[in-house]
């Protein structure tokens, strides 16, 4: 098995959401297309943002913590017919359980509970790729273009304004808007 971390969230040309899992001790990346709600939930967890009322993944994490259920690990086990499969390994009062899950839900929970995420070697060999330097250069050039639009404000002023907008969007449960603002903040921060 290969331990991975969530390296980012992306949108496809068909406006579907996805996540990139990157191996901890290597260069390979694994893209997984997921639902918009799950992408928003993962984005909130990555940013350590808590909505005023718990969304489903927050509620599930709260229930698990309250009942003393430990989430030991998430494993993406299989890729079959363009669909990823995962299991969540739980420990409840010394008894181990394996729960079938969609990778997106398992990852959303893992991020909230600090649980390690793994991908079976076979899945990584089948579907991962090694990002090329050109992709990194392309991201950098986009950042340079974005920097030009902020010439009238200092970078810190712009970031402060965006953080306030992000907080307000989360409070109003406008998660799609919050995700877009979060992405904009990341682009500005990576331009430094």
pLDDT digits (tens, 9 = 90+) for 17-72: 899 999 999 999 999 999 889 999 999 999 888 888 999 999 999 999 999 999 99
pLDDT digits (tens, 9 = 90+) for 140-177: 333 322 322 223 345 676 777 778 788 888 887 888 88
Q: Are the C-beta atoms of residues 179 and 37 closer than 8 Å to each other?
A: no
The model's pTM is 0.71
Q: How far apart are the C-alpha atoms of 148 and 146, rounded to whole Å?
A: 5
pLDDT digits (tens, 9 = 90+) for 118-132: 999 999 999 998 887
> Do 100 and 147 lie in a common domain?
no
Domain that holds residue 172: 133-190
Domain of 123, CATH number, reads 3.10.690.10
CA atoms within 13 A on the CB side of 190: 18
Q: Are the C-beta atoms of residues 192 and 73 closer than 8 Å to each other?
A: no
């Amino acid at each position: 098995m290969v331990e991975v971390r969530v390296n980012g969230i992306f949108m496809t040309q068909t406006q579907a959401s996805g996540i990139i899992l990157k191996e901890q001790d290597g260069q390979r990346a694994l893209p997984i297309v997921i639902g918009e709600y799950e992408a928003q939930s993962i984005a909130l967890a990555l940013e350590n943002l808590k909505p005023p009322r718990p969304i489903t993944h927050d509620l599930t994490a709260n229930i698990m913590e309250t009942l003393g259920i430990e989430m030991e690990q998430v494993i993406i086990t299989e890729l079959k017919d363009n669909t990823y499969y995962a299991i969540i390994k739980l420990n409840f009062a010394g008894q181990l359980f394996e729960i079938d899950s969609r990778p997106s839900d398992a990852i959303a929970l893992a991020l909230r509970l600090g649980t390690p995420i793994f991908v079976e070697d076979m899945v990584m060999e089948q579907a991962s790729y090694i990002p090329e330097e050109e992709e990194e250069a392309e991201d950098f050039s986009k950042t340079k273009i974005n920097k030009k639009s902020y010439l009238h404000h200092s970078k810190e002023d712009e970031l402060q304004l965006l953080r306030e907008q992000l907080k307000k969007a989360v409070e109003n449960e406008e998660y799609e808007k919050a995700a877009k603002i979060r992405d904009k903040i990341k682009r500005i921060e990576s331009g430094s």
